[in-house]
Structure 1
Amino acid sequence: MGSGVLPAALLTGDGVVERRLRRTGGMSGLWFPGIGRAVLVSDPALVRAVMRAPAGVVAAGPANRVQEPVIGPSGLARLEGAEHREIRTLMAPSVRDRVPERLRAATERLALRAAARCPSGVPFPLRPLLHGALMEAVLELTMGLSPERQRAWRVPLRELFRRADSYEITVRYALRHVGALDWWPSYHRAKDACDRLIHAEIDRRRDGDEGDDLLGALLRARDDDDLPLPRSVVRDQVMSMIAGARTTTANGLAWVFERVVRHPEVLRRVTGESELGEGDAYASAVTYEALRVRPPVAFFGRVVRRPFELGGRLLSPGTTIIVHLRTLHHDPALYPGAATFRPERWLDGRPAGYGWMPFGGGAHTCLGDRLAMVQMRTFLQVFTRELALSPAWPGDEPVRWKAVSNSPGAGCRVIARPR
């Protein structure tokens, strides 16, 4: 159907994908190893049609399924239909509705602690520090774990996500039917260690105070027969939230800083807003713009369940639809001067629903999107208020790809000095 180089380019971020989609009007066919027939789309009208298609016609696709080895078969990104709606409804109050009242103070505290850990006056990669800080935040939010209780979690989670962030998991998942995932001892050891910790916390909570965080909400939930959710289902939702903090939030925040330190006027303006206590309108605009020009998740997919017409082409069941975010986010019809980092474009309004999608879209929009935005703009304001930041890498950092996510290729190398 399409050029044989497209599948590799999709995973490496090569500009060949963008050029191909521009030439073909925002829709291009290809064949993808381990997936089969696929269609790349970047035209906003086509993306809108895909996102609004009924669940029985278009469902969550391979870019969601490749997360299964980590988040589990019952993770929110894997569920469909009524089961998906039920779990999402249970989780929403703890993850979305209470974000403003619960998260700002805690996030500022964690951001201040992270800023204090930055070495002074020497180049260092900021991304690993952000990963650690945001892991602390999500463990506190989802499971109420204090920093002391989190110590036992650090090594098992690091080992599991070291494999989840690799190309190897993508290949092994594509070859799962021939046992490529089953015969991966180091992955299973890491996963089992994490599962033991989560299951022990579930059992401890069920024997005592369930709490008012995400885990507590899941433990209080009952199905139609008034039975609690199975432990495996609770585990998968907790791991879904932890995985989200490791990809979109941490990598997205690294891109925010990578862009800001290379634009002195933007850095001065966001610092002034924070120092003067003038709210967070500009910090929000900076975050929106960074996620537009450098979406931390390269693409996401949907799979056709029943014949589906898209862009004048009838797609047969089994076809994968891949929304290519970088091309969508750089559409000059949506964003004049699309290649330019210009946060001011967001000061007059929030991003359009189907032209800005770093958190996915439709029924499978990331449930932690509000939390992620609160965390990113809070970290941005705290760091710029506490530290004088400058880039420690010449020019723009290259994109480093791991599985379907990406981050600054040098780890967002900066120089930080106390203000």
Structure 2
Amino acid sequence: MGSGVLPAALLAGDGVVEGMLRRTGGMFGLWAPGLGRAVVVSDPALVRAVMRAPDGVMAASPAGRMREPVIGPRGLARLEGDEHREIRSIMAPVVRDRVHERLREATERLALRAAATCPRGRPFALRPLLHRALLEAVLELVAGLSPERQRAWRTPLRELLRRADSYEVTVRYALRHAGALDWWPGYHRAKEACDRLIHAEIRRRRKAGGEGDDLLGALLRARDDDDAPLPDAVVRDQVMSMIAGARTTTANGLAWVFERVVRHPEVLRRVTGESEKGEGDAYASAVTYEALRVRPPVTFFGRTVRRPFELGGRMLAPGTTVIVHLRTLHHDPALYPDPAAFRPERWLDGRPAGYGWMPFGGGAHTCLGDRLAMVQMRTFLQVFARELALSPAWPGDERVRWKAFCNVPAAGCRVIAHPR
């Protein structure tokens, strides 16, 4: 295993990291600010071993803690062990069942509204529009807010999430022990404004007896082992976690879906035909899987070693962070022949076995909103294909831009739309 002081290795570009992983057999070591000792892996067998390690051996990575300035100290991505299992068990039936039941209809309505607001006949960036639409969706599905009640939330949430998407949060987290997070007045103003809104909604809903068949209602009705309600601070962090996740993984993933599709006219024609004929969404699903494979919206995720752990024939010491590099994993030619090609047909026979496709993470810390995100992405894709004739603003690919743990289209997914 190669090792060294490589504080910028993960920021140097996917090509650099991929080359190092190829040369070292799918695993190399580094040291980075905010993480300390780490190893980067991409071999599916190593990834599987990490994801299947029990709680006592592996914990969620410090990368999850880097999201703490937005999601809070008790957001689901920050929790471990029994507390993580307890909160997840409360949220899962709502997010994956009750919310899911009404998701398609709500998403179709929002997608139609978003398509109607697209400029016609001139280039524009689609990604900001998708961010706005999916923020509306998550506020409705998670907190039950009508469009009218959402107005007061939009500006402070956008300001806080804008800072969460910036390089600044990465640097400040790495320097947190020097007070870099404490001395950040713009962030604190935005966070306090968001917290006031969320806590006011929590108080209103508690007075109403925890009403609502949504995530907030379920959290307010939940009881711990002592039959006590969850503290308001814990409820706040779960609501903020879902809001932040919808904006990052879902909106950025959807931007990549469109960036890929408009550059492959035959794929777009087939999606359009499926949507217009009402033939289900099998092909739209395959397109979404393939776009998230070739352009995973999350750069990497990881776990932290709690007890000495053997990986790939090497013993890792407690405190070591194991980082899964998604682009290299998703471009493994042993899993995906001709891995650089955008070929949705490879997904029509189902997903690959094991741990070869992981845009939503894996194991006990798999993103709880993964199914919701997939429904939203393929619904937006079908609605836009049916309503608009889309083409790229230029024929070449948009380059990948690394932005606070996410991969985004560098130009914001610039397209040209005409009415169909």
What is the CA-CA distance between 1:402 and the residue it aligns to?
Answer: 1.1
Q: Output aligned runs, 1:226-375, within 5 Å.
A: 226-375=227-376
Alignment of 1:214 onto 2:244:
no
Report the number of matched residues. 418
1:335-385 CA-partner distances (Å, limit 9, x unpaired):
000000000000001243400000000000000000000000000000000
Alignment of 1:409 onto 2:410:
yes
| Percentage of pairs with the same residue | 85
What is the CA-CA distance between 1:400 and the residue it aligns to?
Answer: 1.5
Counterpart contact for 2:166–2:404, Cα < 8 Å: yes
Counterpart contact for 1:125–1:411, Cα < 8 Å: yes
Aligned amino acid, residue 32 of structure 2:
F
Partners of 2:98 and 2:228 in 1: CA distance? 26
Partners of 1:369 and 1:196 in 2: CA distance? 28
Counterpart contact for 1:9–1:15, Cα < 8 Å: no
Q: Output aligned runs, 1:15-414, within 5 Å.
A: 15-209=15-209, 210-414=211-415
Partners of 2:264 and 2:293 in 1: CA distance? 16
Partners of 1:335 and 1:307 in 2: CA distance? 33
Partners of 2:113 and 2:353 in 1: CA distance? 34
Aligned amino acid, residue 143 of structure 2:
M
Aligned amino acid, residue 269 of structure 1:
R
What is the CA-CA distance between 1:61 and the residue it aligns to?
Answer: 0.5
1:100-135 CA-partner distances (Å, limit 9, x unpaired):
421111110000000000011110000000000000
Counterpart contact for 2:263–2:395, Cα < 8 Å: no
1:155-196 CA-partner distances (Å, limit 9, x unpaired):
101110111111111111111112110111111110000000
SS in 1 for 2:391: strand
Counterpart contact for 1:258–1:397, Cα < 8 Å: yes
What is the CA-CA distance between 1:62 and the residue it aligns to?
Answer: 1.7
Unpaired runs of 5+ residues, structure 2, are: none
Counterpart contact for 2:99–2:214, Cα < 8 Å: no
SS in 2 for 1:38: strand
Alpha-carbon spacing, 1:141–1:100, altered in 2? closer, same or farther (3 Å) = closer
What is the CA-CA distance between 1:99 and the residue it aligns to?
Answer: 4.6
Aligned amino acid, residue 276 of structure 1:
K
Partners of 2:291 and 2:112 in 1: CA distance? 22
Partners of 2:7 and 2:316 in 1: CA distance? 19
Alpha-carbon spacing, 1:134–1:268, altered in 2? closer, same or farther (3 Å) = same
Partners of 1:28 and 1:363 in 2: CA distance? 25
Partners of 2:150 and 2:118 in 1: CA distance? 21
Partners of 2:144 and 2:12 in 1: CA distance? 37
The ranges of structure 1 where at least 4 consecutive aligned residues each deviate by more than 6 angstroms after the TM superposition are none
Counterpart contact for 1:60–1:302, Cα < 8 Å: yes
1:295-334 CA-partner distances (Å, limit 9, x unpaired):
0000001111110000000000111100000000000000
Partners of 2:116 and 2:14 in 1: CA distance? 37
Partners of 2:84 and 2:132 in 1: CA distance? 30
SS in 2 for 1:15: helix
1:269-290 CA-partner distances (Å, limit 9, x unpaired):
0110000000000000000000
What is the CA-CA distance between 1:97 and the residue it aligns to?
Answer: 2.0
SS in 2 for 1:98: helix
Larger deviation, residues 350-359 vs 298-307: 350-359
Counterpart contact for 1:34–1:174, Cα < 8 Å: yes
1:63-88 CA-partner distances (Å, limit 9, x unpaired):
21110110001000010111101100
Counterpart contact for 1:160–1:187, Cα < 8 Å: yes
Partners of 1:18 and 1:396 in 2: CA distance? 19
SS in 2 for 1:302: strand
Aligned amino acid, residue 154 of structure 1:
R
TM-score, normalised to structure 2, is: 0.98
SS in 1 for 2:28: strand
Alpha-carbon spacing, 1:7–1:15, altered in 2? closer, same or farther (3 Å) = farther
Aligned amino acid, residue 197 of structure 1:
L
Partners of 2:82 and 2:259 in 1: CA distance? 40
SS in 1 for 2:212: coil
Counterpart contact for 2:14–2:327, Cα < 8 Å: no
Partners of 2:51 and 2:114 in 1: CA distance? 37
Aligned amino acid, residue 29 of structure 2:
G
Alpha-carbon spacing, 1:127–1:247, altered in 2? closer, same or farther (3 Å) = same
Aligned amino acid, residue 288 of structure 2:
T
SS in 2 for 1:121: coil
Aligned amino acid, residue 349 of structure 2:
D
Alpha-carbon spacing, 1:88–1:152, altered in 2? closer, same or farther (3 Å) = same
Counterpart contact for 2:301–2:323, Cα < 8 Å: yes
Larger deviation, residues 30-39 vs 282-291: 30-39
Counterpart contact for 1:104–1:378, Cα < 8 Å: yes
Counterpart contact for 1:288–1:351, Cα < 8 Å: no
Aligned amino acid, residue 225 of structure 1:
D
What is the CA-CA distance between 1:208 and the residue it aligns to?
Answer: 1.0
Partners of 2:4 and 2:169 in 1: CA distance? 24
Partners of 1:353 and 1:142 in 2: CA distance? 31
